[in-house]
Structure 1
Amino acid sequence: MVKTLSVTSILFCGAIFGFFYAWVCSTMWGLDAADPRVAIAAMQAMNASVRNAVFFPAFFLTPAVLGITAIAAGLRNSWGAASLFGAAAVIYLVFGLALTLAVNVPMNEALAAVAIPTDIEAARAIWQDYSVRWQFWNQIRAGASGLALAFAATALARL
């Protein structure tokens, strides 16, 4: 049972890490290179579409799956693995889930309320202000999610 939970934990961590990582290495660079009016509209559309049944498990349930796996490993007296799964749960919970809800979501909601200006310079100012700050926080949550994935993988190796 604990190995099945471990693999599930790794899949959840990998899914959310991959989601955040894709924004770091391609999506935001592509939007930054686009007309800022297009970037704003595209980001508004992506943010509106991300709240769905496919995204929900990886984003919201990863800390729970990691926590359950930590408990299962502890019940098997695999304390090293349990500690790593527990640490992964806390890291993602604080620097992935909570950070997103506290920082990125409010930024996304503020951008959603913006009427896209027809003036390209006004749009550029809005986009640059948003993009720089959003990417900074996204890199933190991507790094934290990657660290949680590494901890989960190391925990599985210890089992």
Structure 2
Amino acid sequence: MARGTGLLATVLAGGIFGFFYAWICSTMWGLDAADPRIAIPAMQAMNASVRNVAFAPIFFGTPVVALLAAGLCWLAGARPAALLFGAAGVIYLGGCLALTASVNVVMNNELAAVAVPEGLDKAKAVWQAYSPRWQMFNMIRTGVAGGVLVLCVLGFARVSAVKS
């Protein structure tokens, strides 16, 4: 049970890391290269569509499953694995979930309330006030998610090495 839960935590951590990373290396660069009168409604649509049943288990499930894996590893006597999964879960809660809720989602909601300006200069001003800051916080949560993934991989390696 500890191995399976640890594996699931690792897969979820990989999924959310990949999700955040994709925003860095393609989505935001593409939007930044587009006319801001196109980028703004495109980002509004993406932000509205991300609240779905495919995203929720990865985003919300990662810390839950990592902490569950920590508890199961602890009970199985795999204490180093338990500490790694526990650290992954706690770090994710602060560096991914809380950061996203307190910064990126707030910014997304503010952008959702914006009517796309017709003039190019006004649209550029809106996009420039949004994109660099949003991307900075996305890079932070991507780095945190990468660290969480590493902790889960290490935790899974440790629990897999334990003789049943």
TM range, normalised to the smaller chain? Answer: over 0.9
Map 1:90-101 → 2, pairs under 5 A: 90-101=90-101
Which structure 1 segments of 5+ residues have no match? Answer: none
Deviation at 1:158, TM superposition (A): 1.2
Structure 1 runs, 4 residues or longer, greater than 6 Å off:
none
For the residue of structure 1 that corresponds to 2:90, the secondary structure is helix
Q: Which runs of 5+ in 2 are unaligned?
A: 160-164
Q: Provide the TM-score with structure 2 as the length reference.
A: 0.96
Distance 2:152 2:142 in 1: 15
| Cα displacement string for residues 96-151 of structure 1 (whole angstroms, at most 9, x for unaligned residues) | 00100011001000000000001011101110110000000000111101100000
Distance 1:148 1:108 in 2: 24
2:46 is the alignment partner of 1:46: yes
1:79-98 superposed matches below 5 A: 79-98=79-98
Task: State the distance in 2 between where 1:77 and 1:102 align.
Answer: 37
Q: TM-score, normalised by structure 1?
A: 0.98
In the TM superposition, residue 77 of structure 1 has moved relative to its aligned partner by 1.3
Identity of aligned residues (%): 55
- Residue in 1 that maps onto 2:162: none
Instruction: Give the aligned partner of residue 34 of structure 1.
Output: 34
Q: Equivalent residue for 1:16?
A: 16
In the alignment, what sits opposite 2:58?
58
Corresponding residue number in structure 2 for 1:155:
155
Backbone CA RMSD of aligned residues? 0.6
Q: Which amino acid aligns with 1:28?
A: M
| Structure 1 CA distance for aligned equivalents of residues 100 and 70 of structure 2 | 23
